[in-house]
Amino acid sequence: MGNDGGSIPTRRELVKNAARALNTSEFKAKEQEAQGHAWTYCPLSNRPLVAPIVSDCAGTLYNKDAILEQLLPKDDDVPAPVIKEKEEVLQGRVKGLRDIVEVKFTVVKEGKEEEKKICPITSKELGPTTKSVYLVPCGHAFSDVAIREVAGDTCVECNEPYKSDDVITILPLAKEDISRLAARMAKLKESGLTHSLKKAPGAKKRKKNAEAAEPTETSSANEPTSNPKTKYKLVGNDKVKSSSGASTPNVTSNGIKNAATASLTAKVLDEQEERNKRRKLGLNDNLKSLFSSGGYSAQAHKGGDFMTRGFSLPKKTT
């Protein structure tokens, strides 16, 4: 770079054109080029799309064999960057075969080897220049214009019923279509369904566990009052025996409805209150019998036992 007759180039000489935003025509051309590549090649295997072709909830097209290869356990010789790159392509949307739908295109041959996908209703070619959709769960593909014009609830190819939310845009570009597909998938997850409208793995088990938990909580809440197998019920701090065959009436804040239970509860509460009073005042019957409140008298306790007699000092004689 020096002492050889050359010169050091400056930034002005290297950067001839400043970076600028693409205009509308350039942006559309670039977008159409990306769409053409997505309609032709599988993003997982980078090989041409050949039947069977499948799609995820976002409308992306894949080769089915590439999805199967991705779902199978990986060998140790597969580089980690390759695995990470493929996971970024899927973005967690495909975790099993229930998360994909096979897209059934109507194919027309042009020449010996060339084929093109067309709409069976309008005969328009499906591709980057035509907004295309497919139906779930049957998977038949049509142009978006044809589906909006027909406006039915069954597929014209197989008479399979479908809902308006299950019309999936293929390789969507508009923000409205992308947000609609995301909202649809969120709703399906809440219902325990996958993109193909099949039950998600573990959804049935979670539902059973939830149903089993509700009766348990209800029975535990009503156990002191309505469980016929309970032999004792808790009243205050004491256990009161109740009949095992009949249910115990409910105790409300206003009082007890059953008269027999009310009297029994009142009796138990009175006994407990009396015991609490004795405990506070120290008036235990066993201890009270050992002491007298009138003072000690040796003459009165001469004939008593060794616990009540006490000990007296003899008088001194002078």
Find residue 238's DSSP bridge partners: 235
Would you kindly state where each structural domain of the chain is located, as residue ranges?
A: 19-190, 229-282
CATH 3.40.50.620 fits 19-190, yes or no: no
* pLDDT band (50, 70, 90) for residue 115: confident
CA distance 169 to 158: 19
In whole angstroms, give the CA distance from residue 120 to residue 140. 9
Q: What is the pTM of this model?
A: 0.58
Distance CA 142, CA 168 (A): 10
Count, in order, helices (H) and strands (E) of the chain. 11, 12
Select from 174, 167, 170 the least CA-distant residue to 197. 167
Which residue bears the tokens 């392509």?
89
At 245-283, the pLDDT tens digits run 444 444 444 456 567 667 767 777 787 777 777 666 655
The per-residue pLDDT for 183 is 95
Tens-digit pLDDT profile for residues 186-197: 999 999 999 999
Going by DSSP bridges, is the β-strand pair 53-55/61-63 parallel, antiparallel, or unpaired? antiparallel
- Residue 141: which of 171, 119, 158 has the closest Cα? 119
- When pLDDT is averaged across residues 169-196 and rounded to a whole number, the result is 93
